[in-house]
Amino acid sequence: MRAATIAALLTLYLGSPANAADEYRFDFGPADSPVAEGYDGVDASAAYSSDRGYGWCDGVPRNCTAPPPRPRRTYWWHADPIHFFHEITNEFRCDGIESEKPFSFKVDLPKGKYRVAATVGHLTEPRYGIDIYANGNLVNKKVDARLWLFRGLLHKASGYYKRVRFTVDVGDEGLVLDFKGDDTEFQRLMQIEKAKGPDERPQSRFKGAPLGPEMAPFQDIGGPFSKISVMGLEVYPAKELPLRMNPDTLQLDAGNELAGDRAVEQAVVAFNSGQYPKAEAGLLAIADPLVRGIGLLALAGRPDYENEIENTEAAVAALRKATASDGADGNVRELLETAEIFLSGLNVFRYRGVPPNNGPVSTWRAAAEFDQFQPGDLVYWKAQIQQARFLIMLDAHQWCWCSVEGKNKLRDVEKVFPDNRYVQFYLHDKLAASADWVSEDYLARAKDAPEWAAGLYAGYNLLADISEWWAVNKQQADGSIGGGWGDDVELVGFFGFIARVSEGASPPSIECVRKLMKGVYASGQIDEVGGFFYGAADTEHSAEWTGKTLPMMLSVDYGNPLWVERALQSAKLMKEIWMGVNAHGHLHWRSNFLGASGIGAKATQLDSSINWRAANPAAAVLRFTNNPAIKEMVLKHAEALYEDAMRTDKGKPKGIIPGEVDYETDEIGGRNVPTWYDPGDIPAKGNYGFAKFHGYRTQIMYLAFQLSGDEKFLEPIRLEAEYALEHGGDLTAKIHRLKPGSPEWVAIVLRRSPELWEQVQYERSRKQGNDIRKTDREAIVENTIPCIEPIRTNMPYVTTEALATDRVGVPNSLAILNLLMGWTPTDPVPHLTYRHVGRDFAAAVLGADPTSLTAMAYVFGFDGEKTKKMGFVPWKLGLGADYTAVWGQDGDGDDQMDEEEGRMDFTLAQRGQSVDLDLRTGRTYIIKITQTKPSPFAPVLADLAVGEEDVEYHSDWKLLFVTVHNIGAAAAGEYEVVVTESESGQRLRAVGNSLDAPLDLAPKRTRFGFRFEPSQIEHRFDVVVRSLSEQAELTGTNNSVSVTLNFDQ
């Protein structure tokens, strides 16, 4: 049945056509299925007849529907097909017709030129390789309709729709559309992909490593043909619109009544001369909605103008008005549909990280929307650029198919728009000047400083800029930063340690970290009672939530009882659920699938290297407090691993710590598996095996040595280092090219062991009184200056062009932080942090051990200051000991003090204590701190603490509550709590007799209530907790807090 006759509705722009042509709108699908408004329903039985004027004329398709897919559990970066189903389904797309064999559809039409819009695809199954013919001529080849589901790595797709539009000249025979399936092109491309060797695979932007052999194909070649599915069809007379692109300039139809309109002509001239802001203003002022809408949509599609969201929104509004006034004209409706889909893609991407949206999944959806456009569309080139960006973002390492496909699209763009900034950036590593791609030239700012200081200053400031960009531009109200909580927790440590370097250097970074961590615990993914990820899942992922965040928080928000007690929960889980002593008397992990309330099934009952990630928070508490219960667990587990390392079962070399040990049987490698290095077919196998996370094993051994002083724990480290050096050869070789279990393969896994053994030797020598340096100014220059420009030019990769928050990598960022703070491969606690200088400094830890340290510092005087105070905060020197700090200038650049300029004796009473020196700006200083008298302290101390969360008001009882914690490892004696209302000076006081230490791994706290009547909406309270017995504590940074409470409610 004909939908509408538009002879009376043809636009005034063309006048009356020679032939009064008809428009058809068909919605294919079962007879009892819903029909979209304005369409005629056509089912598979509607054979062509001249009376009907349309129908199936060759082939026998069948009706089909697209019911909602069954929901399934997926990872954050792997979309559930139902995720967008309800957003994209409607009465038109919910059904259709399909067949494995070709079929044809005929429409009787008067002679003339027509536009045809065929919508192909199926919403729950991908479709590939559909060819469309019009009156025997191929008009579109190999049409694919699919929505990718997986972030970058694999070809996994669900169904989607694809709009295919073309113009056709119709003669006496009417219009016959043939739909055919073609698999030949896909098979040809697949053979090419299969033949590619490792060196032809995409190269990782981060590691230079080729794609693994299991991840072919290496570019988007579509998929095998299965079925032809068509949802519907529109046919309408083609007409020239009053404003059009021809080919790269905007032209107003000379016969149009607006041709003499000066405002319109000025807008067109401005557009064609590249004066886009002026063109935008002119187009927005045009009264005619159709001309205004066309012009704004053309402007939105310009690759060299980036105000597309606002212009597309304005274009949609104008074209909706034009469509309403222009009746059923398909050409205007086609423009509106183009604008709406383009705006949909822009907004899906724009809000990709706003909860509850899923960043990677939304980006795939946006890419699918931009895949709807064809050459000739006003937004085609802008859509190609945006889709290319999205595909590259989805493959952050740039080692998989979608980044290759993205770059292929940009190569097509380059042929027409060679200067486009995304073309230049992604294809040629050239950074164009733009408002969102600005990075400060800190090297130029520090041009008068010595090279070592300029390099560290520039490196640290660029890292801080990146951190603050995320805090300002990406963080949402709930604390998330756009990658999903499971990935956001992998980036938060970067922000935290950037801010940790220098107190006050980056307030936005600190606030971002605290807000994100509160959001993580409020997300519903962490069992707050258990203190860990709810469900028992593979440890590589379940432990990220706490293992990658809490150790950082213990360092960044030092002494805050909130984080210490949350980290303590991990130790409690280790003791009560996760670990156990097996029949052989060894303390091992019971499973490599861990949860807050249980462990995985029998197939997962292995002690695996990655399990230490779950123990990281407990280890952080141990380093903070020396808690004996945690210490005992670490030493017992290290004893078991030491014995496992010394065994040679299944051909394992002596001294090498195995990646897996079966919990019940103590079998190396896993139960009933033939090798010591491959655990066999176990759940989430990709996260396990000797080649995965081996560094955690050596961390345990070194920590056990530090705790006990027993050198037997160093023996596996020494033997692994010797094995790596003996068999390693080229330690940069690609591991996937070596035979698993071979000496060369094992040596690659152990490639970090020699570095760790060197650290052991270094610390031994330092303890013997030798001032051996870990670095010097030459090494500082080598690790900073060459990476400054790459950081600046790659800034988009880690800001605007970053999607996956677990894949944001900044060149040499760890090296810069290591130089500044003196990290070691085995211990994330810094040797030094700084105060009073913000970002305007450079400093490096040249050498350090538990009794002494040597640092180099330089303070900038950009505001003309002659001297500045700089604080040096040592975190690993022994508490309670006496020290002497000596400092002086190094004028000749030999990393030695020319002469002593100052000396200070002090006692390091608490963690967080600063050694403050007045230094001349623009000078290099050497600072040496040396222990002169050992500590009289016991090995464990109490630590009374109060945090912001510990002050609250109960309005019913008119009570102000303050909770006091002991987060140390010794009981606290008598203490007082003093609360002062800051405005009135009202003072409240209470005394506590004692507070036990959490030796049973359960928090120890007491709550005090103070009667208080609020007199205004807000009151600020200063709370101080102090020992009345002059008992030594770990730190004083957590003995006071200021909190403002709102009493309006």
Segment 794-806 shows an average pLDDT of 89
Query: What is the model's pLDDT at position 212?
Result: 46
pLDDT band at 208 (very low <50, low <70, confident <90, very high): very low
Helix, strand, coil: what percent of the chain each, to 5?
35, 25, 40
**Distance of alpha carbon 174 from alpha carbon 781, whole angstroms:** 76
Q: Look at the domain 944-1046 and name its fold.
A: Immunoglobulin-like (2.60.40)
Query: What is the model's pLDDT at position 10?
Result: 32
Report the range of poorest mean pLDDT among 320-329, 359-368, 454-463. Answer: 320-329
- Report the CATH architecture of 4-182+225-237: Sandwich (2.60)
The string of DSSP codes covering 626-685 is --HHHHHHHHHHHHHHHHHHH--GGGPPTTPPPSEEETTT--BTSTT-S-SS---S-TTG
Hey, where are the domains in the chain?
Answer: 4-182+225-237, 243-394, 524-767, 777-933, 944-1046
150 or 759: which carries more pLDDT confidence?
A: 759
**Which residue type is seen at 519?**
G
Residue among 782, 784, 811 nearest 798 (CA)? 811
Residue 76 has pLDDT above 80, yes or no: no
> Where do we find the tokens 């060679």?
418
Segment 513-536 shows an average pLDDT of 91
Degrees, nearest 5: CA angle 918-919-922: 155
pLDDT band at 84 (very low <50, low <70, confident <90, very high): confident
Query: What is the model's pLDDT at position 70?
Result: 74
Query: What is the model's pLDDT at position 16?
Result: 34
100 or 735: which carries more pLDDT confidence?
A: 100
Query: What is the model's pLDDT at position 195?
Result: 78
pLDDT band at 396 (very low <50, low <70, confident <90, very high): confident
pLDDT band at 211 (very low <50, low <70, confident <90, very high): very low
pLDDT band at 72 (very low <50, low <70, confident <90, very high): low
- Whether 4-182+225-237 and 944-1046 share one fold: the answer is no
Supply the DSSP symbol for 67.
Answer: P
Q: What b-and-e string marks burial along 188-206, b requiring 16 or more CB atoms within 10 Å of the CB?
A: ebbeeeeeeeeeebbebbe
For residue 616, the SS3 value is helix
User: Going by CATH, does the domain composed of 777-933 fall within 2.120.10?
Assistant: no
254 or 92: which carries more pLDDT confidence?
A: 92
Query: What is the model's pLDDT at position 19?
Result: 32
**Distance of alpha carbon 223 from alpha carbon 229, whole angstroms:** 15
User: H/E element holding 253?
Assistant: none
Report the range of poorest mean pLDDT among 189-203, 335-349, 586-600. Answer: 189-203
pLDDT in tens, 966-1013: 999 999 999 999 999 999 999 999 999 999 999 999 999 999 999 999
pLDDT in tens, 807-845: 888 878 889 999 999 976 567 789 999 999 999 999 999
pLDDT in tens, 776-792: 999 999 999 999 999 99
Query: What is the model's pLDDT at position 6?
Result: 30
Residue 283 has pLDDT above 70, yes or no: yes
**Distance of alpha carbon 1040 from alpha carbon 1024, whole angstroms:** 4
Segment 406-428 shows an average pLDDT of 95
Residue 659 to residues 509, 584, 609, 636: CA-CA distances in angstroms?
A: 36, 18, 5, 17
Residue 493 has pLDDT above 50, yes or no: yes
User: Mean pLDDT score of the chain, rounded to an integer?
Assistant: 90
Query: What is the model's pLDDT at position 518?
Result: 94
* HEC letters along 683-713: CCHHHCCCCCCCHHHHHHHHHHHHHHCCHHH
